[in-house]
Structure 1
Amino acid sequence: MGITADETVQVCPQCGSDIRGDARFTVWCAACDWNVDPQKPEAEHGLPARTRQAAAHRYGARLAADMASGGELRARRDVAAVLACVCAVLVHGLTLLVTALGIRWIISGWGGVPMAGGLLLLALAWSLRPRLGTLPQDGPVLHRADAPELFALIDDVAEAVGTRGVDTVAVDADINAGVTTYGLRRRRLLTLGLPLWEVLTPAQRIALLGHELGHFSNGDVRHGTLVASAHRSLAAWAYYLAPAHNPSPVQFFVSVVCFVPWLLVRGVMLTLDRLTLRATQRAEYLADRLAGRAASTEAAVQLMDRLLISDSAATVLRREVSRQARGSHRTQGADDRAHGLWDRLVTSMDSVPEAEYERLRRVGARRGHSVDATHPPTHLRRACLLAVESVAPTVVVGEDRTRRIGVELADARTLVARQILRDGFPG
């Protein structure tokens, strides 16, 4: 058998096996795992990160086993979730107390020194206030009238996973997707990273929508408004109270005074993190199950595999930006290059060999929770999906509907492609 241009053949220096690989990717040995993970991630520093990882390792496998054995398809409001909500209420109560104290100082000390202190407290309370979120301002934002076919698909997927659709869709340049709420009326926002959307098949796109919308139906405590805003308030407190680096004499005195309150805030952050960590991981497993319900188990597993090569997609986009910067686009109009960006990305991702997918699966199994303790490792998520009975898709998208959705996203595709080529890839 001949060797193709991208194929490389060598002997494994560890076990002596013959290795056939693709020169575009890491060359490794499937027999002994030599060079399977040449770029090991740096260990996270700091007590919160280490504590989170330890907790994730401690019960991560048990949670995966529970889900793989057919654990209930809904989030559980256990004692930890209730305590997290109580903790969040206390955090926001402190913000209200600071507000009330600031108002009292202003009223009682009008025109004097206490008034200045009251204004300072009100400014502090304003920075600690719960954020209700706003619409993104740096990319295309679609409403139902802009993309009726896309929103109809989202509604179909939402019905399949037991929730309602979204009010707005934001399109950006990230290789990611997510859901959140915004405004006083808590409208729902779906953010679609176009580089991810473009490289997925129609079935995988349904799985992606099912996973993200599943977070609305499974009651993820950590991402609820109450707890998420408490996290942000605590982060602000920690920033204000943190000891100064290379302090002046005055800063040193302030750091000494604030040291104990800073430790207390860090302790509350650790507590809230521990209380919500298990629920967050469970929510991810449940969202995966709901993705399988909407798109089929096979499509949900394929989506996870596609997410494994997000770094490769980022490399392709950075290469396109580099070519643009070097002037290699001069023989091609800027609009033509922007239109062709997605086709080149899809072609590159479709050429990723199965050996690279397998290597990344093994890397995930080795690293476990060390990269992201809030999300279960991909190999455990895949195992949970494959351990239960495979399900057929509830939502199916035909070629005509896929084409109509593509037409609705055409302007956004061009805008995001131009943004990437002009400003660089943000990932």
Structure 2
Amino acid sequence: MDTAAAETVQPCPECGAEIRGESRFPSWCAVCDWNVDPERPEEKRGRLAEARRAQARRHGERLLAELAAGGTLKARGDSSARLAFAVALAVHALTLALTAGGVWFLVGSRGGWGMLPGAFLLALGWSLRPRFDRLPENTPVLRRADAPELFALVDEVARVAGTRGVDAVVVDSEINASVQSYGLRGRRLLTLGLPFWEILTPQQRIALLGHEMGHFVNGDTRHGFVVGTAQRSLATWYHYFAPVGADALDDTDVFTVILNLLYVVPRLLVRGMLTVLDGLTLRSTQRAEYLADRTAARVGSTRAALELMERLLISDSAAVVLQRETNLSALKGPRGGRDRREAAGRADELWQRLAAELASVPERERERLRRVGALRGHSVDSTHPPTHLRHACLLIGEDVPPAVVTDDERERRIAGELAAARTKVARQILQDGYQ
């Protein structure tokens, strides 16, 4: 794939400094930051969402300042986490009380009038019960027998991180990676987004695995069973108290208006509980991300962990490439056996085109994205510290060499184990589009 572009040279309109760049990327001035962020998207967030992001940034800055001053990221009697645990237990106690009330009505009524409220309370308690996560459907799931080399690498990374490996690996189309527990026995799941995995070097992949295994080591109250399921229960309550109708107060149905007015107070209470629980767990979540980054550096090296951060900054470019490939595939829509074979070939080649496109991004454009990230407070989501703060955290202290390395032969075997999933996910992206 030819990714070459014409070089452009122009003076900066602000300070007059010479600007050199490529026609496929925005021109900007490294001296005065002219046009460093030409898009400046106006994100439509509510006041609560904006306050949440600001709070996340403040927590990230404070934790980084503590570390820079010689402190430690280890939790020391985190009162917020304990209070969040207590709030979560109160939410589950309400669910238990509703269930017990339903049983009391059913037993006490002996087939009388209490059967109706008893059945209602039992159904409500059942819908609010703590739920265990399950394996996702319609997504490739790999077990140890399917990918022994990949699992062996994960196990090696996990041992260095100080934990055990995973029980399953899910491969999907997200530009991300994550871990979670699932099922009654608390089995471990690693989710690898192939668009992200494919743009990483082998050592960056090891750093990524180290980061994800670090979450099992360092803990995150928000993702624990008690707090996590309490948040889901509150989200269910919030859904139950949603206004009926598109514009409830203007509805001509008096009953609907009254019902929605009755919903206002409990809906606000539930929303307040969700906000409180979110705020109480935010600092521990930020700490967990910093600690996971440290684990990534310890496993894959400081350099690989820093490079991983830069890959996060150009993830939007990966999304653009995938959407472009989807559009091209739609224009060529299969109309016969030959076209179907061509479509299959495009699916198999998608990852090479994606990796080549992102590898061709010059250092000047990467620097611009770093500056944009700092200006916007870029983060994976509002629970993560801004990426530039995570980058700065890794620079504190001495460089750490890699504890886990791989070689071409091992990479080839892992690629073979992922081959079927790579083709399936690529076809899904080309057929259904990348969102």
TM-score, normalisation: structure 2 = 0.92
The change in CA–CA distance for 1:371 and 1:306 in structure 2 (over 3 A counts) is: closer
Residue in structure 1 matched with residue 285 of structure 2 by the alignment:
280
Letter in 1 for 2:102: G
> How far apart are the structure 1 equivalents of 2:108 and 2:209?
54
In 1, are the aligned partners of 2:73 and 2:287 still within 8 Å (CA)? no
> How far apart are the structure 2 equivalents of 1:90 and 1:47?
27
CA drift at 1:93: 0.9
In 2, are the aligned partners of 1:6 and 1:22 still within 8 Å (CA)? yes
CA drift at 1:388: 1.4
Residue in structure 2 matched with residue 375 of structure 1 by the alignment:
384
CA drift at 1:412: 1.1
In 2, are the aligned partners of 1:174 and 1:193 still within 8 Å (CA)? yes
Residue in structure 2 matched with residue 183 of structure 1 by the alignment:
183
The change in CA–CA distance for 1:48 and 1:33 in structure 2 (over 3 A counts) is: same
> How far apart are the structure 2 equivalents of 1:418 and 1:149?
25
> How far apart are the structure 1 equivalents of 2:125 and 2:11?
64
Letter in 2 for 1:318: Q
CA drift at 1:337: 1.3
Residue in structure 1 matched with residue 367 of structure 2 by the alignment:
358
Letter in 2 for 1:337: R
The change in CA–CA distance for 1:21 and 1:157 in structure 2 (over 3 A counts) is: same
In 2, are the aligned partners of 1:364 and 1:378 still within 8 Å (CA)? yes
Letter in 2 for 1:183: G
The change in CA–CA distance for 1:82 and 1:122 in structure 2 (over 3 A counts) is: same
Q: Does residue 64 of the first structure (1) align with residue 64 of the second (2)?
A: yes
CA drift at 1:346: 0.8
> How far apart are the structure 2 equivalents of 1:291 and 1:20?
35
Letter in 2 for 1:260: V
The change in CA–CA distance for 1:211 and 1:400 in structure 2 (over 3 A counts) is: same
Provide the secondary structure at the position in 1 that maps to 2:431.
Answer: helix
Letter in 1 for 2:138: D
The change in CA–CA distance for 1:58 and 1:173 in structure 2 (over 3 A counts) is: closer
Provide the secondary structure at the position in 1 that maps to 2:406.
Answer: coil
Query: Could you tell which deviates more after superposition, 226-235 or 22-31?
Result: 22-31
The change in CA–CA distance for 1:161 and 1:108 in structure 2 (over 3 A counts) is: same
Provide the secondary structure at the position in 2 that maps to 1:333.
Answer: helix
Count of matched residue positions in the alignment of Structure 1 and Structure 2: 423
Moved over 6 A (4+): 328-332
In 2, are the aligned partners of 1:197 and 1:205 still within 8 Å (CA)? yes
Query: Could you tell which deviates more after superposition, 386-395 or 179-188?
Result: 386-395
> How far apart are the structure 2 equivalents of 1:407 and 1:369?
35
Letter in 1 for 2:268: L
- Percent identity, aligned pairs only? 60
Provide the secondary structure at the position in 2 that maps to 1:5.
Answer: coil
Question: What is the Cα-based RMSD across aligned positions, in Å?
Answer: 2.0
The change in CA–CA distance for 1:272 and 1:380 in structure 2 (over 3 A counts) is: same
Give CA-to-partner distance per residue, 1:44-83, whole Å, 9 cap, x none: 5334323323423434322112234454354445111111
Letter in 1 for 2:264: F
> How far apart are the structure 2 equivalents of 1:311 and 1:12?
26
Give CA-to-partner distance per residue, 1:283-324, whole Å, 9 cap, x none: 100000000000000000000101111111111111111111
CA drift at 1:253: 1.1
In 1, are the aligned partners of 2:379 and 2:385 still within 8 Å (CA)? no
The change in CA–CA distance for 1:184 and 1:333 in structure 2 (over 3 A counts) is: same
Which stretches in structure 1 are left out of the alignment for 5+ residues? none
Give CA-to-partner distance per residue, 1:318-347, whole Å, 9 cap, x none: 111111110188776222111111111111
Letter in 1 for 2:167: D
Query: Could you tell which deviates more after superposition, 78-87 or 65-74?
Result: 65-74
Q: Map 1:272-311 onto structure 2 (within 5 A).
A: 272-311=277-316
In 1, are the aligned partners of 2:5 and 2:24 still within 8 Å (CA)? no
Query: Could you tell which deviates more after superposition, 233-242 or 385-394?
Result: 233-242
2:395 alignment partner, one of 386, 392, 405: 386
The change in CA–CA distance for 1:8 and 1:118 in structure 2 (over 3 A counts) is: farther
CA drift at 1:225: 1.3
CA drift at 1:186: 0.5
Query: Could you tell which deviates more after superposition, 99-108 or 406-415?
Result: 99-108
CA drift at 1:383: 0.7
Residue in structure 2 matched with residue 232 of structure 1 by the alignment:
232
